[in-house]
Amino acid sequence: MSKSYAILPCNGLDKCAGCISKEVALRLTENTDSEIICPVLYRVADARYNKIASEKPLLVIDGCATRCASKLASEKSLKIAEKINVTDEAKSNDITIASGLRLGENELRLVDSIIGKLTKVEEKTEIESTFAFPENIQYETYSKDKFTFRVPKEGFYFNENDCWVYVVGNKARIGVTDYVQQSLQDIMFFTPPTVGSEIEQFGEAGNIESGKAVFELVCPVSGTITAVNDKLLEAPELINQNPYEKGWIAEIELSDFESDKDFLIDFAKYFEVLKRKVDEFHV
């Protein structure tokens, strides 16, 4: 693990879940450059920890449902990068936490599982970050009634089926536009395309579903799927929040982008298509 955290664990000394949160924090500091913020001292004298909290992503570990560590982070207006609740983790791993305060076999297994989960999340982040996606995307917007539709102004290509592609070298990232997410409203299910599968331009690249309809993604380019946005499986609402950034769908190794480009349109043309659709269909 190369990434390090500022860890804010709860101080649950009277419950086993609290002792587990301490053990997780300890193990992370041993295996990474992470640093622990003492919740007790932080509450009374935060100056000591402000530097750590501002430099590293914050990992909050709560033992129980009282969530003291989360509340402390909220009190101090800290931005939480990752959050773990030991009791919830125990439930999802089907582990019963002992009533005593010493960690036994089950508790240590839970510690391993939580550490593994944090490591896995990190690996995923690293895979995603290999794609050089722009950070400050500029949008043009078109509003109709209460709906606002964003379209990125530069670097994106679109098809008339309201899907976008952003190309870097021989790789591309694809997704849907605001028109799709506004039309579907609350997206509840995401069926990703299969990693490793070959896909033709205008072939189906997974689908998304809300209470209103199912939308099949019409792939704007041809190639091989190299990655999918796994976060959407747990939180498909990311597509509603921003379908161009956190709500991206998949990454593709391109097979013939120069030919595919003949059937794609740029911002200026797609913006006209979008306005026409919105005006005609009164989303």
Partner 1 sequence: MSKVKVIPCSGIGKVYGLMAREAALKVTNELKPGETETVCLAHIVTGDAEAKEKIEGVSCITIDGCPMLCAAKSVAHEGGVVKAQYRTVDEMKKHRGIDPGTATALSEDGWKIIDELCEKICVNVDEIIKEEAK
Q: What are the angstrom distances between the C-alpha of 157 and each of 199, 267, 279? A: 18, 7, 22
- Residue 189 or 263 having the CB closest to partner 1: 189
In terms of phi and psi (left: phi > 0; alpha: psi -120 to 50; beta: otherwise), the region of 230 is alpha
Residue 65 within binding range of partner 1, rule CB under 8 A:
yes
Residue 67 within binding range of partner 1, rule CB under 8 A:
yes
Residue 153 CB, shortest distance to partner 1, in Å, is 27
- Single residue of 108, 127, 188, 268 touching partner 1 by CB under 8 A: 188
64 secondary structure, DSSP code: S
Alpha-helix runs per DSSP H in the chain: 16-31, 39-44, 47-55, 68-75, 86-92, 105-129, 178-184, 231-234, 237-241, 257-260, 267-281
- Residue 186 or 204 having the CB closest to partner 1: 186
CB 81 within 8 A of CB 52: no
Alpha-helix runs per DSSP H in 130-281: 178-184, 231-234, 237-241, 257-260, 267-281
Scanning 62-70, 123-131, 135-143, 157-165 for contacts with partner 1 by CB under 8 A, the matching segment is 62-70
- Residue 187 or 254 having the CB closest to partner 1: 187
How many Å apart are CA 151 and CA 154, to the nearest integer? 9
Residue 146 CB, shortest distance to partner 1, in Å, is 8
Residue 74 within binding range of partner 1, rule CB under 8 A:
yes
Scanning 132-140, 172-180, 235-243, 244-252 for contacts with partner 1 by CB under 8 A, the matching segment is 235-243
- Single residue of 46, 216, 237, 245 touching partner 1 by CB under 8 A: 237
How many Å apart are CA 189 and CA 212, to the nearest integer? 12
CB 226 within 8 A of CB 143: no
Scanning 44-52, 59-67, 96-104, 128-136 for contacts with partner 1 by CB under 8 A, the matching segment is 59-67
How many Å apart are CA 275 and CA 283, to the nearest integer? 11
Site string for partner 1, 5-44 (x = CB under 8 A): ----------------------------------------
| Of residues 90, 71, 84, the one with CA closest to residue 121 | 84
Residue 153 within binding range of partner 1, rule CB under 8 A:
no
Residue 85 CB, shortest distance to partner 1, in Å, is 12
- Residue 75 or 112 having the CB closest to partner 1: 75
Whose tokens are 């590293």? That residue is 56
Residue 235 within binding range of partner 1, rule CB under 8 A:
yes
Residue 189 CB, shortest distance to partner 1, in Å, is 7
- Binding interface with partner 1 (CB under 8 A): 65-67, 70-71, 74, 185-186, 188-189, 209, 211, 235, 237, 240
